[in-house]
Structure 1
């Protein structure tokens, strides 16, 4: 019989109905225990000191101190994995995206009807167990000004190639920090970020506001261009194909791969099939192993590959798998990845 301690969860929500729903969803699980409930941030602070929870579920819109301000305070003084359980309103979506930037490890939409409570319960329990199985180091997005960060990085000559980036938990912070360090004239960038459909377009818009290059949602058959980064849409795989003398995006519904759609593996494998195109594949923080097989394929195809080092990962899962399988040519901390990408591009064959 296992004597492993249960994962302690603190539920923070100003709605008594929501607190009952969330606590009820977790009640009776042999490995999860709701240690307390709080209706506001100040009560939550006292309960954190008293119960030392392993995971917090947090509503964004609360009285006294809003959830976002509380989250930032928590990440600064006492980082604990936080799962945001948010509303479906447009304003709620924007706030939830900001919460990911502030250090939340996941955003789960609140159910809109009783039938969706079961789905929420399943997803919440799965995520809590994944967090327990992983070494999680929550941290907010570093405050870096795009032009200041990218000014010293220059690509020394024209490059016919592209950059591919995959990320999951902790990815919104890592991607923003990385892209703001790359020069504006960077080769095309293709991105897979695991994120709920409700937030991915807002995430791309946020990146477009703060990054030197243009950031857009991927559409099927779109030519890739220098100075443009494309983000895989929710619920669709992103691939790159050589058509009509141009590199073009492909957006495919397809079945999930490794429980993910979009999957980093699908993107990386499509790039490994390209010929006479230089690729730099980058795998950032995230749970699980998505992207590890694809990174191995890229390296076997002679391409440059970079895995984020454990020291800067929120969750050292996907990069660890890629490293363990021999897929990573370079293993570097997040603040050195942009410079490593530029060095890889400078070594690429001339177009």
Structure 2
């Protein structure tokens, strides 16, 4: 006996990826509903490469009663309207937006990192999925934290335009074409030209000069991994379609050699260590697209601090940063709390 699961926002980038991953991982559902805004009602959506399709329903009048769980990929504003309705009807919400991440009554989950925290879902019937850049980083940090206790993290991100949705991907494509044919560059989604450029600005600026994306990495890492860890971040948008990259510097309480860190990461859940000290002996965002893993490369000691390490971390942000992590949460929820059959 399988689950009854809803994918909210099924016509968007993340929603379609959720459907694909449900098919790839053979998620045990008996019934699947796809819902989105009224303009998508009646659209036929493919469920990955399974050969199956589903008709999109109108989220405005969808009846949540009797459904086990719902993966939301509809943004904070729409989630604020529909998630409480689903939760009140007994449908457990797994939310991809930022709305509930720092709510003390809502667990913020990366299954490889803090699976036990999911037990707190009963307070609101809602589980939060972290920011894409945070999710891949904590997967890499967790085994090192367990081994040597991380005190401080300094991270610089190189985030793809897909993190800004379809509009971000379209802008990179259009600007690249405009530059090659000599047309005037059209800047709409981003604050500056993104083609052949990098922009050190993601989300809104805060009073202290940081951006909200940087703030998310700080507070979410503390909530997921350890509130004692000091984190500082610089988040940069780069002209890559899919795949976020991060240069991470960590300081640990205990000594941890690069060799020991490599050994630990090689065995860590969700991590693929690709670290050869030779040309091409590392993973780039282009190579991680479509993969489930968080790839770690360039592990080396930092001689400027007592116990320091540097590493390079790459992941498909539409997968581990959003859709995959949400499906993994659904799998974890099923195993721990909603056992069928």
TM-score (norm 2): 0.31
Higher relative contact order (Cα pairs below 8 Å, separated by 6+ residues) = 2
TM-score (norm 1): 0.30
